[in-house]
Structure 1
């Protein structure tokens, strides 16, 4: 690449003032240094930018063709420099946010409202289970997670919502809310054991003292949902992973309490100001009276 930012700036100034002495004073360089910059540019592109005479300098025909592009490029470079400097000063680094299926109903709203006042902060999102979120938060690979309450005392967290386990049944197979009847009659679909998801652990807790049969092991939640829709079996899943998305699935609540809190989690040692801004934004949203719904949940 032949473009040199210093040369572009020098060309723009010289084209404007039409005098080497004045241009060199504005640029705070010597006249010989300015002349060398112009010559280096002209030699690199094999183009004559200026016509020199006793009165000073004027743009050549070729110079007139490219000066607008050079000026525009200088403005863009200046704006980019100011933008990067602003990020450096304020530490407004991009945000890496992870979430589970239980955050689908409130997280998009939080992010949309946050970006209304912080549109220069880039946000990347990833669907990751709670265990992996905690690992990445501790390693610094993740900025903010929406997950179960973390085990590590190193991380900060606040509860932002709730979810609960339900039995998901195809509406073609639904008769009533007797969970034990479905577990005895249909195949119970489970996540594969290699998955780090905690769904299996909580499912097994709910299956204590119950009769059931497991014949299908799936690697991901979407496959399980597809199997339910095809009447292949039933599954114990987080309510929010299905609610309002799949109308053909009936959600049956357990008689026992299966709720858990969804926390916003972050590392207090993070130096990024963007993390602090997002955390403050969520706390502010939680403090608003309208964020609490009829079911008692905040979002």
Structure 2
């Protein structure tokens, strides 16, 4: 049933006068009369009686009014919810992030939540290559990744990250000396493909060959092994935000240490929530 007819019924019952109800509904009085007549025809029941002092509900009208109010309220709630969804104020967002955005991505989400509390968000630590795949499948809506990604993904660069040498103590040794005395700790290829590629590129550019390497599962393990004096690592400078006291962070030279980090998405999917989040990320000044 057309909810406009039910709303006309409810408003006329509340106002008790066709002229007042028509004004409240922003329609003409003849249009309101037509809607009430149509509703009465649909339900095969007279809903109102008209007298010198206005309009009164019939016995049947009084019985149906509570249900009509419920339907109208539910319809208005639905329309409000639909409007919020269309504007990206309600919904769901799955985001991915990597080592370089370990600090940046949660801050973006905190800012987004403050403006859009009706959106449910998940954030998962994933390698850039896996994020690229999940963005194209729709499993992620946005990803904080190394940019540029391959088409069809779109992206926006956010900041530059770079490699630093992380060692267990502040000792005056150069990079080559560190890598001759301690194993170079690296992530497994499936876990840190981008970081490993950057590390290899840098070492090749500097003509440095580590004496030994050790592969581990995650950054937390690398940090723990460095603290224990078991090895050293080439890590993103962004990791210093989560590094515990006592680690020695050594800047490294050369263009091979640098890469761009940005936010990526698949433009083939229409998503107002995602677009609002991207706008927040673009406007976030680090």
TM-score computed with the length of structure 1 as normaliser: 0.66
1:21 aligned residue (48, 53, 60)? 60
How far apart, in 2, do the equivalents of 1:80 and 1:249 lie? Answer: 55
1:271 matched to 2:270? The reply is yes
Q: CA deviation at 1:211?
A: 3.2
Residue 125 (structure 1) aligns with: 123
TM-score computed with the length of structure 2 as normaliser: 0.69
Paired residues for 1:1-299 under 5 Å: 21-26=60-65, 84-90=81-87, 92-171=90-169, 174-176=170-172, 178-195=174-191, 197-208=193-204, 209-243=207-241, 245-257=243-255, 258-283=257-282, 285-286=283-284, 291=285, 299=286
Relative to structure 1, the CA distance from residue 213 to residue 267 in structure 2 (aligned partners, 3 Å threshold; closer, same or farther) is same
Relative to structure 1, the CA distance from residue 88 to residue 159 in structure 2 (aligned partners, 3 Å threshold; closer, same or farther) is closer
Q: CA RMSD in A?
A: 3.0
SS state of the match for residue 200, structure 2?
Answer: helix
Identify which range, 80-89 or 227-236, moves more after superposition: 80-89
Which sections of structure 1, spanning at least 5 residues, go unmatched?
1-18, 30-73, 292-298
Relative to structure 1, the CA distance from residue 265 to residue 170 in structure 2 (aligned partners, 3 Å threshold; closer, same or farther) is same
Relative to structure 1, the CA distance from residue 180 to residue 269 in structure 2 (aligned partners, 3 Å threshold; closer, same or farther) is same
Q: Deviations over 1:150-179 (max 9, x none)?
A: 4312111111111111111012xx312511
Q: CA deviation at 1:20?
A: 6.9
Relative to structure 1, the CA distance from residue 80 to residue 127 in structure 2 (aligned partners, 3 Å threshold; closer, same or farther) is farther
Q: Deviations over 1:1-45 (max 9, x none)?
A: xxxxxxxxxxxxxxxxxx97344331579xxxxxxxxxxxxxxxx
Q: CA deviation at 1:273?
A: 0.8
SS state of the match for residue 252, structure 1?
Answer: strand
How far apart, in 2, do the equivalents of 1:96 and 1:169 lie? Answer: 35
How far apart, in 2, do the equivalents of 1:192 and 1:178 lie? Answer: 26
- Equivalent residues, number: 226
Contact 2:86 2:272 in 1 (8 A): no
Identify which range, 223-232 or 210-219, moves more after superposition: 210-219
How far apart, in 2, do the equivalents of 1:163 and 1:147 lie? Answer: 11
How far apart, in 1, do the equivalents of 2:212 and 2:80 lie? Answer: 56
